C-alpha cells in the first residue's frame, strides 16, 4: 500500500482507495472505468484485495476510539455542515465526476444528484439536535422509585455498499446518518461509479473529519471488495442499496455474527391513473417516473394501470412525451436522456425488449437502439419504450427491468387496479393519480409498498421514513428512523 497525493479528479487517470485519511494503491490488477455515453475508458481503478479491506476496517475500528468518539453531537453536526459546504465548493468537479461515471445529462446531475448529495449531510446535522430518547419513572416496593432512560450509542463500523444509478446521492444518504450518530464507515461504491465517492475523501479531509472515520474501497462483489467487507468480523452492521439477489447474498454473510442489515432493494412499481385525474399532470408524472435517469431509478414506474375511459388518450400523450426525450452529449443543453450504465446492463434491457415482442406486446414507441453521432455510437444507448397488450404473467410485467420502459394496461374497477398493483413480490413504491381525495387515501393505504405518492412522484421530505416491503427491502431510512439502525439503544435504570 503506497500513500499518494491526491490530484484533482478531473486529472485523475487512476482511482485509488481512500483509507485512514490517505489515498492508497493495491496489488491486484486495475480495472477499467468507462464512460457510458461513449463506451471509452476514462480511468482505471484499483481493486481491493482482502488485505486492503482489512486495512480499511481496522482504520475505522481505531477511529471509533479516537477524536471522533469524543466529539459532542453538536460538534459532529458542524462537521456535517462543513461537508455539505465542501461539496458545493467543488460542485463542478462533482458534476463532472458523476457525468463521467454515469453518462447522465448535466441538467440531471447538477439539479438532482449533487445538490441532494450535499443536502443529505445538512438533514442529518439537523437530526442530531432533534434526536431524543425515552425516559420512564417507575414504582419500586420501597416506595422510592426508579428512573429508566434510553441511551443511544454508535453502532460501530458500518459497511456501506452503494449502487451505480445515483452514486453520490445514495452514498451520502447512508454515510451522513452513520457519521451523524458517531459511527465510522467503510464505503464500497459500485465498480461502475467510483469517482464521486473517491472525491468525497478529499472533502472529508478538508472538513476536518478525523482519519479513519471515512474509508473507501473499490472492487466487485464475489471474491472482491464486497465479499471481503461483508464477511469481515469487525464490521458491526451493513447497509446496502441494490438488487434483491445481491441483498440475499449480503444477508447470508451478515448472519455470521448476527449483524444487523438495512436494505433498499429492487422494485417493480405500479402507477395507477384514474379517469378523474388531471390527465396532463398524470402523463408528465408517469413519463418522469418511467424515463428519468433512463429508467435507472429503483422508485421508477414500469407498470402503469389506467382507467379505461382515459386509456387511449393517456397512451397517446405518454408516447408524445417519450418521443420528446433527446439523447446525446451529456453536456449539451438540449440533451434530456442518457445512456444505460454498461454494455452488460444494456444487453439485459434489450433482452426484455425482445421478450416483450415474443410475448405479443404492442410497441407504442421505442423498442430498440437510437441512432447517434459517431462520437456516441459506442455508448450504451436504448430507446425509451412503451408497450401495451401483455398478459400479467409476462416476465416484462413481473420482473424488474431497470430501464427506460413501461407497460400500460387498462382497468375498469378500483379493486382490480389495487389487486394488479399488489400482484408482485416487490413492494417499494407506487404513484396514484386521482382528483378524489377520499379515493387517494383509500388506495394509498391499500397498496403494499413503503412509499405511496399521490398526484406526484419522487417528492421527498428527507425526514420521513423511506424503504420497501417484501422483497424490496428491510428497515427504514430517513430522519429519526435512521436512529434504529445506526445506533444501539441501551436502557439505564437508576434506583432512587
Query: Which residues are known catalytic residues?
Result: 264, 298
The closest of 438, 431, 421, 325 to 382, measured between CA atoms, is 325
Please name the residue ranges forming H helices in 131-275: 167-180, 195-206, 225-231, 244-255
**What Rg, from alpha-carbon coordinates, does the chain have?**
24
Say how far apart CA 424 and CA 269 lie, in whole Å.
9
Report the distance separating Cα 253 and Cα 232, nearest Å. 9
Is residue 293 within 8 Å of 338, Cβ to Cβ? yes
CA–CA separation, 55 vs 433, rounded Å? 51
377: which 3 cell numbers? Answer: 455510437
Q: Which residues contact 433 (CB under 8 A, 6 or more apart)?
A: 271, 272, 273, 274, 277, 278, 281, 282, 285, 286, 454, 455
CB atoms within 10 A of CB 11: 6
Q: How far apart are CA 190 and CA 212, in angstroms?
A: 21
Enumerate residues 6+ apart whose C-beta is below 8 A from 298: 163, 165, 241, 264, 265, 266, 267, 402, 428
Dihedral over alpha carbons 336, 339, 345, 347 (to 10 degrees): 110
Report the DSSP beta bridge partners of residue 136. 148
Number of helices (H) and strands (E), helices first, in the chain?
17, 23
Amino acid at each position: 500500500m503506497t500513500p499518494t497525493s491526491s490530484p484533482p479528479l478531473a486529472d485523475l487517470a487512476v482511482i485509488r482507495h481512500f483509507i485512514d485519511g490517505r489515498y492508497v494503491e493495491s496489488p491486484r490488477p486495475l480495472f477499467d472505468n468507462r464512460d457510458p455515453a461513449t463506451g471509452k475508458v476514462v480511468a482505471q481503478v484499483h481493486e481491493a484485495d482482502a488485505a486492503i479491506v482489512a486495512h480499511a476496517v481496522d482504520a475505522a475500528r481505531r477511529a471509533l476510539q479516537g477524536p471522533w468518539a469524543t466529539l459532542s453531537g453538536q460538534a459532529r453536526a458542524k462537521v456535517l455542515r462543513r461537508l455539505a459546504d465542501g461539496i458545493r465548493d467543488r460542485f463542478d468537479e462533482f458534476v463532472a465526476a458523476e457525468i463521467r461515471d454515469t453518462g447522465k445529462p448535466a441538467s440531471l446531475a447538477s439539479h438532482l444528484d449533487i445538490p441532494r448529495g450535499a443536502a443529505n449531510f445538512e438533514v442529518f446535522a439537523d437530526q442530531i439536535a432533534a434526536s431524543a430518547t425515552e425516559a420512564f419513572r417507575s414504582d419500586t416496593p420501597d416506595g422510592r422509585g426508579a428512573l429508566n432512560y434510553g441511551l443511544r450509542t454508535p453502532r460501530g463500523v458500518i459497511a456501506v455498499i452503494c449502487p451505480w444509478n445515483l452514486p453520490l446521492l445514495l452514498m451520502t444518504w447512508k454515510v451522513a446518518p452513520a457519521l451523524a450518530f458517531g459511527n465510522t464507515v467503510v464505503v464500497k461504491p459500485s465498480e461502475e461509479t467510483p469517482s464521486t465517492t473517491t472525491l468525497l475523501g478529499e472533502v472529508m479531509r478538508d472538513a476536518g473529519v478525523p482519519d479513519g472515520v471515512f474509508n473507501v474501497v473499490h472492487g466487485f462483489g464475489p471474491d472482491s471488495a464486497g465479499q471481503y467487507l461483508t464477511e469481515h468480523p469487525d464490521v458491526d452492521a451493513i447497509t446496502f442499496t441494490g438488487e434483491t439477489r445481491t441483498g440475499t447474498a449480503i444477508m447470508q454473510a451478515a448472519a455470521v455474527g448476527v449483524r444487523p442489515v438495512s436494505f433498499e432493494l429492487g422494485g417493480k412499481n405500479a402507477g395507477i391513473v384514474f379517469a378523474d385525474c388531471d390527465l396532463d399532470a398524470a402523463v408528465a408524472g408517469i413519463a418522469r417516473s418511467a424515463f428519468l435517469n433512463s429508467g435507472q431509478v429503483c422508485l421508477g414506474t414500469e407498470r402503469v394501470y389506467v382507467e379505461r375511459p382515459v386509456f387511449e388518450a393517456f397512451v397517446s400523450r405518454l408516447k408524445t412525451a417519450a418521443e420528446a426525450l433527446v439523447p446525446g452529449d451529456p453536456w449539451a443543453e438540449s440533451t434530456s436522456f442518457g445512456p444505460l450504465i454498461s454494455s452488460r446492463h444494456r444487453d439485459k434491457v434489450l433482452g426484455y425488449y425482445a421478450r416483450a415482442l415474443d410475448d405479443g406486446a404492442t410497441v407504442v414507441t421505442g423498442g430498440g437502439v437510437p441512432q447517434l453521432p459517431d462520437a456516441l455510437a459506442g455508448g450504451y444507448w436504448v430507446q425509451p419504450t412503451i408497450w401495451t397488450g401483455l398478459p400479467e404473467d409476462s416476465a416484462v410485467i413481473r420482473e424488474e427491468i431497470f430501464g427506460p420502459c413501461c407497460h400500460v394496461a387498462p382497468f375498469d374497477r378500483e379493486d382490480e387496479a389495487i389487486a394488479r398493483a399488489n400482484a408482485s413480490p416487490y413492494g417499494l413504491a407506487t404513484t396514484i393519480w386521482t382528483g378524489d381525495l377520499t379515493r387517494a387515501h383509500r388506495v394509498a393505504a391499500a397498496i403494499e409498498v413503503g412509499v405511496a405518492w399521490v398526484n406526484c412522484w419522487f417528492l421527498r421530505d428527507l425526514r420521513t421514513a423511506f424503504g420497501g416491503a417484501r422483497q424490496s427491502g428491510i428497515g427504514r431510512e430517513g430522519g429519526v428512523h435512521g436512529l434504529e439502525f445506526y445506533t444501539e439503544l441501551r436502557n439505564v435504570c437508576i434506583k432512587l
